Amino acid sequence: MRNVGAVIRRRNEEAAGALIGYLPVGFPTLDESVEAAVALVENGVDVLELGLPYSDPVMDGTVIQAATVQALANGFRLAHGFEAVRRVTERVDAPVLVMTYWNPVVQYGVDRFADDLAAAGGAGLITPDLIPDEAGDWLAASERTGLDRVFLAAPSSTDARIRQAVEASRGFVYAVSTMGITGARTDVDQAARGLVGRLREAGAEASCVGLGISTAEQVAEVLEYAEGAIVGSALVKALADGGIEAAGALAAELARGTARK
Amino acid sequence: MALRAQTGPYFGEFGGRFVPESLVAALDELSEAYTLAKLDPAFGEELAELGRSYTGRPSIITEVPRFAEHAGGARIILKREDLNHTGSHKINNVLGQALLTRRIGKKRVIAETGAGQHGVATATAAALFGLECTIYMGEVDTERQALNVARMRLLGAEVIPVKTGSRTLKDAINDAMRDWVTNVETTNYIFGTVAGPHPFPEMVRDFQAIVGEEARQQVIDLTGGLPTAVAACVGGGSNAIGIFHAFLDDADVALYGFEAGGDGVDTPRHAATISKGRPGVLHGARSYLLQDEDGQTIESHSISAGLDYPGVGPEHSWLAALGRATYLPITDDAAMQALRLLSRTEGIIPAIESAHALAGALDLGRELGRDATILVNLSGRGDKDMETAARYFELLDGSAE
């Protein structure tokens, strides 16, 4: 199995850190989402985050919502998520995490979901609306299958909750850069720097910062203090506006931000 | 343990906090503030005083014999939450949460609304307490409840029509949660029903429990005993839990929640969550849910905006699973016929939401017979529904095409 933690460690040894790129499965079509994901990796994305479109994505801003609504209207099914993971991992070596809201996993069956994700070559799950407090089934299933589990930490998280996120997570901890939802911002909040410091004090091996990152300069800024930078909405917007080529070009541009200064 | 003593976060296997980490601090803050408020007699006294001098509590009960003639002769008694200031039970909860907002020290409140009743109540409380107020309302609902949009704006609230998803209540909740995640430091979310993450199901229930506490004593005073059955409509379920709660441990009192059956529960167009859904996670809680095989939420349908919601509060799911309460669907048409019947026999125009409970009571009365006493929560008044009713019954000259 591809190891997210190992890739992030390697990128922090050979460069400033890791670039993590998000795209939703099935947007604009299943085939194009697979091609676009491959293009991201070929252009310097180190870890892929494939999102499963969901009817009620409370952590997502307008760009990602618009894309996932279209994917659902085009007939996205959970089975397409596993298919996309399989097809992408057959083509590129980057580890592939799946980002999903919790209800689809519950309905599919937590154990069955873990088994099918592992069988497809997936590295693990990012769960934006599942906190460790409610994650008993998933902690057990990920232990059994060896899948990574990425929980979120927020600037408002207490020290106890920071420790809980660090202990429950494997792969990395997703540091929410600012209080908000997904979507490109001009300034990535300074709160991220403080949060990553707290995560490190709590023993986190890798913290990756997401929400609001859209330029190579922001990637470079984040990698001064974090192990990885996560870019979502900007890539989705590039894909929506300019197709696979534009998404690949943006990935290449963002990857400049991982160069060691 | 008494059923009434059940608290969150879990009601059996239902409830919990399935939320982004960014919201946990706010939910903890709210839980703590609420716990302290409950222990503070001054909080309870201030809320009770607002009830007396602002809402108009206690609300009366009204026996409706002419309506009851159509219900097999059973006695039917209405709990008149429609007479509250702002026209529904929603004000009970909103005043409680607005007081809490002040205790926490936040200056801005947000809320979702379906029919507009909770939005109007929140805008009202915001005006009373001098809070900045933003209401999220599905675009579909802003069209079918235009009068309530005007009310909220007159009260000084900003109303944001939500254009995502089904453009109804569930999407209004999504956008309100997005706002809260972003502005949590300054903003309190005044949630309108007994759904959502802990502490909302427990807290909203507690603020609505006054309905059943009053009604239980009022029915005893009037009839000399407990009612045979208690009936309420269920969308998210706040008016139903409000009137049920005082009766939960009265084993002889049957509890009936009437869900929105829309075009019929054998069609895809309904909002009968417990009748036709299965457990899942939506809006922060595990509860019954209308969803497809993949766990995608299915868009609900009801003629009543206030019941047009694919989820339901976790305590209702628990009461259904225990068999303590029974949940049955009522079609749009049955509700509209009951709305007209109450209007014509008793001179009381109910909200379409509450008309679902009335239609259910007509069925119950025929089943239970002449010796039965049925307490119905008349949760809201029908003023906001006149346009829908006028179209449905072709009441306006020139509108009947």
Output the DSSP codes for B268-331: S--B-HHHH-EEEEETTEEEEE-B-TTSPBPPP--SSGGG--SB--HHHHHHHHHTSEEEEEEE
Question: How many Å apart are CA A101 and CA A8, to the nearest integer?
Answer: 24
Lowest mean pLDDT among A74-88, B6-20, B154-168: B154-168
> B295 at the A interface (CB within 8 A)?
yes
Give the best residue of A101, A107, A108 to mutate against chain B (max B CB count within 10 A): A107
**Region A247-253: what's the mean pLDDT?**
98
Q: What is the least distance, in Å, from the CA of B14 to any CA of chain A? A: 12
B24 with A157: Cβ contact below 8 A:
yes
Instruction: Give the model confidence (pLDDT) of B48-87 as tens digits.
Output: 999 999 999 999 999 999 999 999 999 999 999 999 999 9
Query: Residue B22: its chain A contacts at CB < 8 A?
Result: 152, 154, 156, 176, 179-180
Give the helix/strand (H/E) hosting A47: strand A47-51
> A191 at the B interface (CB within 8 A)?
no
Q: What is the least distance, in Å, from the CA of B293 to any CA of chain A? A: 7
Percent of chain A with pLDDT over 90: 90
Q: What is the least distance, in Å, from the CA of A47 to any CA of chain B? A: 22
How much is the mean pLDDT over chain A?
95
Tell me the catalytic residues of B.
90, 112, 379
Task: Give the active site residue among A32, A42, A46, A49.
Answer: A49
pLDDT number for residue A184: 65
B20 with A154: Cβ contact below 8 A:
yes
Closest-CA residue of B relative to A162 is: B21
Give the best residue of A63, A103, A181 to mutate against chain B (max B CB count within 10 A): A103
Among partner residues B16, B20, B289, which is closest to A58 by beta-carbon distance?
A: B20
Give the best residue of B10, B18, B21 to mutate against chain A (max A CB count within 10 A): B21
B281 with A106: Cβ contact below 8 A:
yes
**Region B169-196: what's the mean pLDDT?**
93
Helix residue spans in B323-385 (DSSP H): 332-346, 352-368
Q: How far is CA A6 from CA A19, A143, A170, A223, B203, in A?
A: 14, 18, 11, 17, 46
Report the Cα A211 to chain-centroid distance in Å. 10
Judge contact between A28 and A242, C-beta under 8 A: no
Q: Please, what's the b/e burial string for A106-138 (b: 16 or more CB within 10 A of its CB; e: otherwise)?
A: bbbebeebbebbbebbbbbbbbbbbbbebbebb
A156 with B184: Cβ contact below 8 A:
yes
Altogether, the residues listed in chain A come to a count of: 261
B297 with A158: Cβ contact below 8 A:
no
Instruction: Give the model confidence (pLDDT) of A187-246 as tens digits.
Output: 667 789 999 999 999 999 999 999 889 999 999 999 999 999 999 999 999 999 999 999
Neighbours of B83 (CB within 10 A): 17
Among partner residues B28, B174, B293, which is closest to A107 by beta-carbon distance?
A: B293
Query: Residue A102: its chain B contacts at CB < 8 A?
Result: 18, 281
A108 with B185: Cβ contact below 8 A:
no
- Collapsed DSSP state (helix, strand, coil) of residue B188: strand
Judge contact between A176 and A155, C-beta under 8 A: yes
Task: Give the active site residue among A46, A60, A148, A189.
Answer: A60
pLDDT number for residue A34: 98
A134 among known catalytic residues: no
Question: How many Å apart are CA B258 and CA B275, to the nearest integer?
Answer: 10
Report the Cα B180 to chain-centroid distance in Å. 21
Question: How many Å apart are CA B159 and CA B118, to the nearest integer?
Answer: 12
Query: Residue B300: its chain A contacts at CB < 8 A?
Result: none
pLDDT number for residue B285: 98
Question: How many Å apart are CA B136 and CA B183, to the nearest integer?
Answer: 14
Closest-CA residue of B relative to A59 is: B178
Question: How many Å apart are CA B123 and CA B190, to the nearest integer?
Answer: 10
Q: What is the least distance, in Å, from the CA of B334 to any CA of chain A? A: 30
A49 among known catalytic residues: yes
Which domains are delineated in chain B? 10-52+90-204 (3.40.50.1100), 56-87+209-393 (3.40.50.1100)
As for the ipTM of the complex, it is 0.95
**Region A17-41: what's the mean pLDDT?**
98
B58 φ, ψ (degrees, to nearest 5): -70, 145
Among partner residues A56, A78, A128, which is closest to B174 by beta-carbon distance?
A: A56
Percent of chain B with pLDDT over 90: 92
* B400 pLDDT more than 60: no
Q: What is the least distance, in Å, from the CA of B371 to any CA of chain A? A: 45
B78 φ, ψ (degrees, to nearest 5): -100, 135
Which domains are delineated in chain A? 4-258 (3.20.20.70)
A107 with B291: Cβ contact below 8 A:
yes
Structure tokens at B50: 């607002």
Per-residue pLDDT band for B181 (boundaries 50, 70, 90) equals confident
Question: How many Å apart are CA B352 and CA B332, to the nearest integer?
Answer: 9
Give the helix/strand (H/E) hosting A18: strand A18-24
**Region B388-393: what's the mean pLDDT?**
95
Sheet holding B278-282, edge to edge: B10-11, B14-15, B285-289, B278-282
Q: Return the beta strands (E) in B139-248 as ranges.
A: 158-162, 187-189, 229-234
Structure tokens at B138: 């599905």
pLDDT number for residue A31: 98
How buried is A6 (Cβ within 10 angstroms: 0-12 exposed, 13-18 middle, 19+ buried)? exposed
| A to B CB pairs, distance under 8 Å | 108
Q: Which residues contact A170 (CB under 8 A, 6 or more apart)?
A: A5, A124, A142, A148, A149, A150
Judge contact between B64 and B348, C-beta under 8 A: yes
Per-residue pLDDT band for B401 (boundaries 50, 70, 90) equals very low
Contact map slice: B 139-168 vs A, CB within 8 A: 164-165
**Region A179-188: what's the mean pLDDT?**
67
* B179 pLDDT more than 90: yes
Q: Which residues contact B4 (CB under 8 A, 6 or more apart)?
A: B245, B246, B248, B249
Report the Cα B266 to chain-centroid distance in Å. 24
pLDDT number for residue A211: 85
Q: Which residues contact B246 (CB under 8 A, 6 or more apart)?
A: B4, B209, B212, B213, B215, B216
* B164 pLDDT more than 90: no
Query: Residue B280: its chain A contacts at CB < 8 A?
Result: 103, 106-107
pLDDT number for residue B302: 95
Judge contact between A183 and A220, C-beta under 8 A: no
Query: Residue B16: its chain A contacts at CB < 8 A?
Result: 134
Q: Which amino acid is at B16?
A: G
B282 with A154: Cβ contact below 8 A:
no
Give the best residue of B281, B289, B292, B299 to mutate against chain A (max A CB count within 10 A): B281
Instruction: Give the model confidence (pLDDT) of B227-257 as tens digits.
Output: 999 999 999 999 999 999 999 999 999 999 9
Sheet holding B373-378, edge to edge: B61-63, B75-80, B373-378, B229-234, B254-262, B325-331
Question: How many Å apart are CA B259 and CA B243, to the nearest integer?
Answer: 15
**Region B277-303: what's the mean pLDDT?**
97
Beta strands B285-289 and B187-189, pairing class:
unpaired
The one-character DSSP state at B228 is S
A103 with B20: Cβ contact below 8 A:
no
* A12 pLDDT more than 90: yes
Q: What is the least distance, in Å, from the CA of B349 to any CA of chain A? A: 35
Judge contact between B90 and B354, C-beta under 8 A: no
Judge contact between B364 and B307, C-beta under 8 A: no
Query: Residue A25: its chain B contacts at CB < 8 A?
Result: none
Roughly how many angstroms between the first and final C-alpha of chain B, as a whole number?
Answer: 59
* B399 pLDDT more than 60: no
Q: Could you tell me which of B179, B29, B315, B209 has the C-alpha nearest to residue A180? A: B179
Per-residue pLDDT band for A179 (boundaries 50, 70, 90) equals low
Asked if the peptide bond before residue B9 counts as cis, ω within 30 degrees of 0, the response is: yes
Instruction: Give the model confidence (pLDDT) of B82-123 as tens digits.
Output: 999 999 999 999 999 999 999 999 999 999 998 898 999 999
Per-residue pLDDT band for A186 (boundaries 50, 70, 90) equals low
Treating both helix axes as pointing N-terminal to C-terminal, what angle do B386-393 and B332-346 enclose, rounded to 10 degrees? 100
Q: What is the least distance, in Å, from the CA of A67 to any CA of chain B? A: 12
Question: How many Å apart are CA B4 and CA B245, to the nearest integer?
Answer: 6
Among partner residues A103, A154, A181, which is closest to B295 by beta-carbon distance?
A: A103
